Amino acid sequence: MSTYLVPVDFSKTAEHAAKYAARLSYAMANSKIILLNAYYVSEYESILPTPDMVITTEEHIADEISRRNKALEKLKLKLLEINADADIEISLTRQTILRSIIDRINREKIDLIIIGSNGKKAKEESDIGSNAIKISKSSPVPVLVVPPKAHYESIRKAVLACDFKKVKEVIPMQALKNILSKHSLNLQVLNIDAGHKVNSEEEHFLHDMLKDFSPTYHYSSHPDTIKGIVKFAKSEGAQLIIALPKKYSFFESLLHESVSQKLTIKSHVPVLLLKD
């Protein structure tokens, strides 16, 4: 069974990601969706009044928990309209969202975290979308970031972007195999550092590591790396971009919020942050 963890805060962004997960579960047999909402009240909130002079009492907390559980049930019903046979669990925790995600991962096998990305023109910004990069930094499992305009398509072609440097340290082979073994993908490997001389030894290592997936290799000389990746993915008709945010990799910079937000906002397809 594939289990998808979808953190939600009842924003349009989070609902969009949840609907993507429902469509993915429809395409993937024997899968489960966990809708996770975190309601954390700090010690200070229970002592000090809010700016409008309201103190968070136990009664207020109980009412808010009831409201959130009803909202989770409502969202679950929306997802069941997409996939009537979906196995959907709702979960409300009293910890921070990051702690809630890590605790859930520690308790059971989670295959993928699906998060919505806030767009530049988002009318309603999601707190979870704003923290997508922080979550991807801490998560030991892959994180799929779904841009605002990205809609589910059967994943037939994926772009794996890397800089052909220290490939043995950079390519998370086990995580990559886990993804590729579940999808019959046409893998396009894009060298995003083609303006520099390619190390033939590193290139040989990469070809040898990925030979079981029969990828095709391409080279980008676009002056803007992010635009180059997005333009290539669009020209190839890819349904997924795979990024490798790991030490020594160019994509280590994807864990810097400004760069990764550019990629997830400008990309027309979901971006998979893949780590070992």
pLDDT in tens, the chain (276 residues): 789 999 999 988 899 999 999 999 988 778 999 999 999 887 655 555 555 556 677 888 899 999 999 999 999 999 999 999 999 999 999 999 999 999 999 999 999 999 987 655 444 556 666 667 678 778 888 889 898 878 888 888 999 887 766 666 656 677 777 777 767 789 998 887 655 566 677 778 888 888 888 899 988 878 777 788 888 999 999 999 987 655 434 444 554 444 455 665 566 789 888 765
Are the beta carbons of 232 and 220 closer than 8 angstroms?
yes
Residues 46, 68: Cα–Cα separation, whole Å:
19
Please name the residues in contact with 68: beta carbons below 8 A apart, sequence gap of 6 or more: 10, 37, 39, 92
DSSP run (H or E) holding 23: helix 12-27
The residue among 213, 152, 161 whose CA lies nearest residue 182 is 213
pTM of the predicted structure, to 2 decimals: 0.83
Residues in the chain, overall count? 276
Q: Which domains does the chain have, with CATH numbers?
A: 2-146 (3.40.50.620), 157-273 (3.40.50.620)
Residue 240 one-letter amino acid:
L
